[in-house]
Amino acid sequence: MALTAEDRAAVAELLALHGHLVDHGRLDRLEELFVPDCVYDVSAFGAGVLHGPARIREAGQALGDRNPVAHHVTNIVLTERPDGSVHALSKGLGVHADGRCGTVTYEDVVVRDAEGPGGWRIGRRTVHARPAPLGAGEGGRGPM
């Protein structure tokens, strides 16, 4: 099934909703964004691989005040995969309470799911660190 303009808009809104929910402390709603058996890879930040929305919630709560106060997503590129899922590549910008900023690359596999916003939820998310300009320091492990 071809990825429609409506699907593209729904997936982009799903990715944006993550920041709104997290920034407002609505970790109780992560099940809206992620499938029950999702994989959330934050190995680049020393947090390992988290399985399921409950574990993602626990990790966010454990970070407490060290969480960014604002998550912004941009530069979304969507590619339909042969199995009907979507490979979503996007940039993330995090702003901390003290004004520090950081950037990441999100690499997601988004799957059709009637329970998710617009009929989509995230099945896998890998958060890639952006340690240096022009991809230096990624060791060939970036998403592209």
In this predicted model, what pLDDT tens digit does every residue of 75-97 receive, in sequence order? 999 999 999 999 999 999 999 99
Q: Which long-range contacts (CB under 8 A, 24 or more apart) does 21-26 make?
A: 22/60, 22/67, 22/71, 23/68, 23/69, 23/70, 23/71
The CA distance from 94 to 47, in Å, is 17
In whole angstroms, give the CA distance from residue 15 to residue 1: 21
Give, rounded to a whole angstrom, the gap between the first and last alpha carbons of the chain.
Answer: 25
Which residue bears the tokens 């920034």?
23
Query: Please, how many CA atoms are within 13 Å of residue 56, restricted to the half-sphere of its CB?
Result: 30
DSSP state of 67: S
Domain 5-131 class, CATH top level: alpha beta
pLDDT over 80 (residue 140): no
- pLDDT at position 137 over 70: no
What is the structure's pLDDT at 70?
A: 95
